[in-house]
């Protein structure tokens, strides 16, 4: 149950992002212009342009500059076409290009980028990219995460890092099958506000010293489109419902807080959260 408030502002900060690539450092290039996110056409798109994007997002060096909607077609405006960066720009938005919104492209030509800092966390063995067994890149190889003490705050960070919305359910006991390799023995102590798992504090834990792949934790996140607010006066307030596969369901109020509400409001294009209201406010 949630009310959102729309706040619009103009800034070059946080005005370029990569989406649908599994992490903040890979995906379809989108730029914020005139209050609306839009895509970039792949005409003349190359590694020099990718370098500007990767540097702007603090994602390391460019690995690949991709075209032909490699990360799926976007929606809305195509803001930039015939991009021409020198390579030294602080943001893609100040590179030379055709006039804003002027293009001869379709969304099947949306540009994409993969940067070297792509994917420190992933969800594997699930039915879609936003659910599965939690694995972290540690020491050059992927490790599973023990289900002991993996909580809502840890789950919020994983879902946010993967651009997968908000947590729907945390599942223990290798619900998505047993992984291979190392089991990460550190206990995560995320506050829930971090942008990536790598920014969360960790500590040694006796509970984790006895973990095996039978204890691999799994996670289901809401994903990009599987969220809605119903029974409210408008599309930005109402009872929270999340979609898993083809089914819609409600969210338990336990653990639902303003952090989760802010993520959902942003996902729905509704600005920032105003209030989380009492159970059954918008009906059952």
Residue 7 scores a pLDDT above 50 = no
- Indicate the SS3 state at residue 143: strand
Instruction: Count CB atoms within 10 A of the CB of residue 104.
Output: 11
The tokens describing 246, both together, are 């083809």
Residue 49 scores a pLDDT above 80 = yes
| Domain shared by 111 and 201, yes or no | no
In a domain, 278, yes or no: no
Domain count, the chain: 3
Q: C-alpha distances in angstroms, 279 versus 87, 258, 264, 283, 284?
A: 52, 15, 17, 8, 9
In a domain, 77, yes or no: yes
Which domain covers residue 27, as residue numbers? 16-115
In a domain, 155, yes or no: yes
Give pLDDT tens digits for 203-226: 887 666 789 999 999 999 887 556
Query: What is the b/e burial string over 115-140, where b = at least 16 CB atoms within 10 angstroms of the residue's CB?
Result: bebbbbbbbbbbeebbbbbbbbeeee
Give pLDDT tens digits for 114-145: 887 766 788 999 887 789 999 987 765 789 99
- Taking CB atoms within 8 Å and a gap of at least 24, the contacts of 170-173 are 170/217, 170/218, 170/219, 171/217, 171/218, 171/219, 171/220, 172/147, 172/215, 172/217, 172/218, 173/147, 173/214, 173/215
| Domain shared by 171 and 217, yes or no | yes
Average pLDDT, the chain: 85
Q: Which one, of 44, 65, 45, 43, lies nearest residue 54 by Cα? A: 65
> The pTM is what?
0.50
Last residue of a domain, one of 77, 95, 115: 115
| Domain shared by 167 and 250, yes or no | no
Structure-model confidence comparison of residues 176 and 235, the more confident one: 176
In a domain, 5, yes or no: no
| Domain shared by 253 and 199, yes or no | no
| Domain shared by 20 and 63, yes or no | yes
Give pLDDT tens digits for 52-88: 999 999 888 887 899 999 889 999 999 999 999 998 8
| Domain shared by 213 and 128, yes or no | yes
| Domain shared by 127 and 215, yes or no | yes
Query: What is the b/e burial string over 228-238, where b = at least 16 CB atoms within 10 angstroms of the residue's CB?
Result: ebeebeeebbb
Query: From CA 129, how far away is CA 125, in angstroms rounded?
Result: 9
CATH number where 37 lies: 3.10.250.10
The tokens describing 93, both together, are 């938005």
In a domain, 10, yes or no: no
Question: How much of the chain, in percent, has pLDDT values that exceed 90?
Answer: 46
Parallel/antiparallel/unpaired status of strands 2-5 and 16-23: unpaired
The tokens describing 216, both together, are 């691999």
């Amino acid at each position: 149950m949630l009310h959102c408030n729309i706040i619009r502002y103009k800034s070059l900060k946080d005005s370029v992002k990569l989406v649908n690539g599994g992490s903040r450092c890979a995906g379809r290039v989108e730029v914020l212009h005139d209050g609306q996110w839009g895509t970039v056409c792949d005409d003349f798109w190359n590694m020099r342009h990718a370098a500007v994007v990767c540097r702007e997002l603090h994602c390391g060096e460019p690995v690949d500059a991709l075209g032909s909607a490699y990360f799926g077609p976007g929606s809305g405006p195509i803001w930039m076409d015939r991009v021409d960066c020198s390579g030294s720009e602080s943001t893609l938005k100040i590179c030379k290009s055709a006039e804003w919104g002027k293009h001869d492209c379709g969304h099947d030509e949306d540009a994409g980028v993969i940067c070297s800092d792509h994917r420190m966390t992933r969800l594997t063995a699930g039915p879609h990219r936003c659910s599965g067994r939690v694995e972290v890149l540690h020491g050059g190889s992927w490790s599973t995460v023990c289900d002991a003490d993996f909580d809502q705050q840890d789950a919020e960070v994983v879902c946010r890092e993967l651009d997968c919305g908000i947590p729907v359910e945390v599942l223990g006991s290798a619900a998505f099958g047993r992984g291979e390799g190392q089991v990460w023995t550190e206990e995560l102590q995320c506050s829930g506000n971090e942008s990536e798992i790598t920014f969360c504090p960790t500590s040694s834990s006796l509970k984790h010293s006895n973990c095996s792949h039978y204890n691999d934790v799994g996670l289901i996140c809401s994903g990009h489109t599987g969220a809605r607010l119903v029974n409210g006066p408008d599309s930005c307030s109402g009872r929270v419902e999340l979609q898993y596969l083809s089914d819609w369901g409600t969210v338990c109020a336990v653990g639902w807080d303003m952090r989760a509400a802010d993520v959902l409001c942003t996902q729905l294009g509704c600005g920032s959260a105003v209030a989380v209201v009492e159970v059954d406010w918008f009906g059952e």
